[in-house]
Structure 1
Amino acid sequence: MTDWPQRQAALLDALAASRALPPEWRSTFEAVPRHQFIPREIWKQEATCVPVTAEAAWWDLAYSDEPIVTQLDDGRGDGPGVATSSGSKPSLVARMLGALGIAEGHRVLEIGTGTGWNAALLSARLGSENVTTVEVDERLAAQAEKAIREAGYGPRVVHGDGALGWAPGAPYERLIATCSVRRVPPAWIEQTAPGGVIVFPLALDFWSGALLRLDVTQGMAQGRAVGDAQFMPMRSHRPATDTPVDGSTGRRMPGTAVPDTVASLGFALYAGARLPGVAMTDGRHEGTYQIWLWDREGSAATVTDQEVWQYGPRSLWEEVIEAHAAYVSEGSPSADEFGLTVDGAGQRVWLRSPEARVHH
């Protein structure tokens, strides 16, 4: 494909126009073409993961602002076809790198090498000697390292558990994670220098999606949500297997108009702290908007404006409605009004001020 420079320029122009791509990163993105890090075997995430086989479709996806699935079922050939690794949307890559606030001489630890594009971008900006990237999947780590080397960069690529960081290279001035976590691993704070910054996606049970930027002081990290970010969970932070729901316990209630803010990122952060262990997703089923709730211990609920069904010992929809009423009484705060403190006492979500913890 000979027109990739034009495709790249068009994509970067769009990212700049949307303010996703900070001006100081433009030349770095120009120097590190995305397609060099996309393997030939990829999938497009739709209702299921659809293989991308035609060359034209491969190039279209490589220079679109879309994620690209690069692995199914942890690399096994006999799984159900669940995406387990991907190349992130370029706009999200740019926003996260911008949120890091890096400067010359900073040492950066990346958790989740994936395709290697992010590590190559960091290497181009900071110098390869200042970049360490950790990948839990040995095959992905080797594949990414090959792509990074062929692009002309040489960061340290480590095959290991990202929850442990990489102590031999510590301390780091910046840490960025491209996989979501339920709790900030202590090693991340221990290995980040005081005054440093951690940027990562937080995945509470009540649907994941918040990007956080934490400032690190001695033994503590604290900061706010700075946007949304949908990422696959770090393998050691994947949810536990759900307990089957007993369909004979079903209880029908009249339908209800679902408030728009139930599916907002602000309420996700609030409900994630108020209702730990309760998971939610939403979407359309047979043309009807629906919410699904479950607690992984045998309770569940399905909600539409026609009817509500609840199962198991808990009445999850009523718990969500109660939490939503409390959220509305707080002024229906947006995501950027929430923050997180992580220290020796644990991890706490707060609203507007670190002293105003959101309790369950």
Structure 2
Amino acid sequence: MTENWRQRHTALLGALAASGELPHAWRSAFAAVPRHRFIPGDIWEQRSTCVPVTTGAAWWDLVYRDVPIVTQLDDGQSAGPGIATSSNSMPTMVARMLTALEVADGQRVLEIGTGSGWNAALLAARLGSQNVTTVEVDPVLAEKAAKVIKDAGYSPDVVWGDGARGWESGAPYDRIIATCSVRRVPCAWVRQTKPGGRILAPLAGDFWSGTLVRLDVGGDGVASGRFVGGARFMPMRSERPRSDAPVDSGTGRRGSTGGLPAETMAHLGFALYAGAKLPGVVMADGTPDGSYQMWLHDRNGSAATVTQGEVWQYGPRQLWDEATAVHKAYVNDGSPDSGDFGLTVSPGGQRLWLRSPDAPLD
């Protein structure tokens, strides 16, 4: 199958370009850095569980599909529960984020989360290896990535460390890009970015699973900017969710949605709004049996499940009722889209705002 990679690679680039996700400025870098060189032999496809893909034809089919690929389970430990802990992002998302970073020749970039090394190699192909630093918290992944990047002909600075701290010895940077989600943008990233520079990171909250935020850094040590679309990434290792309190099923109370489709709660604009108004409430959704379902819980023993117009609420709080009340306020506020929201990061903390940095959502 190896003789077919060029055809597969060309087809993937053509699809990315046709979709508008791969602009001309990045086309040569993607052409020079084929994805398969950064994918290990043992990989998994993320479905309801992680399904191993190791055979020749299936491996090549997965590598050149526009999907994320799980490249590590259980932090590399054997006999674990099979939880994905590192992945190679879907090519559309890689291209979208690199485009949103808006790099220019000669600029220096810090990448948080080396992973397989593909993103770092793309940056090196575009900007020159001397202008790229990438930091990885897993020493085994860092070592493997450094090797495959070198084998591909690039030599960015691949370092082992906690990405939450950035990489001080290489600062300042013109751009910082994260390939893992964070709940709060570290102030270290702001300090290590030049005034006029940019930070691009997937931000994750409780009510919403992820969205990209693009921050411009001012000379006053404050970074501010808007959200630029959804983006689901694995969390930074230091920010993995803690265990939740158990829910007492004996407290179940049956009700209805009151005519409000549960799907409206999953709209990214509302999810951002609700994340500010319902701190600590977690939302998840999916179609495990073919029909849409939503789950809410507060990590302290309250929960709600919604399926085909039927609601069950558990524990001391009426989470569905609280969520519908916030949705009413959201509609009264003009039903803002995700691009109407923004974030400001300063030494004093992080603040989510709606339409203007002067209008924080508390």
**TM-score greater than 0.5 by the shorter chain:** yes
Task: Choose which of 206, 216, 230 in structure 2 pairs with 1:228.
Answer: 230
Does the 8 Å CA contact 2:180/2:235 hold for their aligned counterparts? yes
Question: What corresponds to 1:142 in structure 2?
Answer: 143
Deviation at 1:2, TM superposition (A): 0.9
Alignment of 1:357 with 2:360, yes or no, is yes
The one-letter amino acid of 2:51's match is: V
Return 16-25 or 304-313, whichever deviates more.
Answer: 304-313
Question: What corresponds to 2:85 in structure 1?
Answer: 84
- Structure 2: 5+ residue runs without aligned partners? none
Runs of 4+ in 1 over 6 A off after TM superposition: none
Question: What corresponds to 1:247 in structure 2?
Answer: 249
Return 298-307 or 193-202, whichever deviates more.
Answer: 298-307
Task: Choose which of 314, 339, 342 in structure 1 pairs with 2:342.
Answer: 339
The one-letter amino acid of 2:280's match is: G
Return 228-237 or 256-265, whichever deviates more.
Answer: 256-265
The one-letter amino acid of 1:273's match is: A
Residues 255 and 226 (structure 1 numbering): CA distance in 2 closer, same or farther, change over 3 Å? closer
Deviation at 1:228, TM superposition (A): 1.4
Aligned-partner Cα distance in 2 for 1:341–1:261: 27
Aligned-partner Cα distance in 1 for 2:289–2:36: 37
Matches within 5 A, 1:74-113: 74-113=75-114
SS at match of 2:45: strand
Does the 8 Å CA contact 1:250/1:310 hold for their aligned counterparts? yes
Deviation at 1:286, TM superposition (A): 3.2
The one-letter amino acid of 1:193's match is: K
The one-letter amino acid of 1:77's match is: S
Matches within 5 A, 1:133-212: 133-212=134-213
**Identity over aligned residues, as a percent?**
66
CA displacement, residues 181-233 of structure 1 (integer Å, 9 cap, x when unaligned): 00011111011111000001010111312111100012111001111111000
Aligned-partner Cα distance in 2 for 1:313–1:189: 40
Task: Choose which of 269, 289, 307 in structure 2 pairs with 1:266.
Answer: 269
Does the 8 Å CA contact 1:256/1:307 hold for their aligned counterparts? no
SS at match of 2:228: strand
- Structure 1: 5+ residue runs without aligned partners? none
SS at match of 2:313: strand
SS at match of 1:120: helix
SS at match of 2:295: strand
Question: What corresponds to 2:43 in structure 1?
Answer: 42
SS at match of 1:3: helix
The one-letter amino acid of 1:96's match is: M
Does the 8 Å CA contact 2:262/2:294 hold for their aligned counterparts? no
SS at match of 1:288: coil
Question: What corresponds to 2:310 in structure 1?
Answer: 307
Aligned-partner Cα distance in 2 for 1:303–1:139: 42
Aligned-partner Cα distance in 2 for 1:37–1:233: 21
Question: What corresponds to 1:70 in structure 2?
Answer: 71
The one-letter amino acid of 1:324's match is: H
CA RMSD of aligned residues (A): 1.2
SS at match of 2:292: strand
Does the 8 Å CA contact 1:255/1:304 hold for their aligned counterparts? no
SS at match of 1:2: helix
Question: What corresponds to 1:8 in structure 2?
Answer: 9
Q: TM-score, normalised by structure 1?
A: 0.97
Does the 8 Å CA contact 1:256/1:305 hold for their aligned counterparts? no
The one-letter amino acid of 2:234's match is: M
CA displacement, residues 148-188 of structure 1 (integer Å, 9 cap, x when unaligned): 01001111111111100000000000000000000011111
Deviation at 1:73, TM superposition (A): 1.2
Deviation at 1:344, TM superposition (A): 2.2
The one-letter amino acid of 1:132's match is: T
Aligned-partner Cα distance in 2 for 1:19–1:261: 28
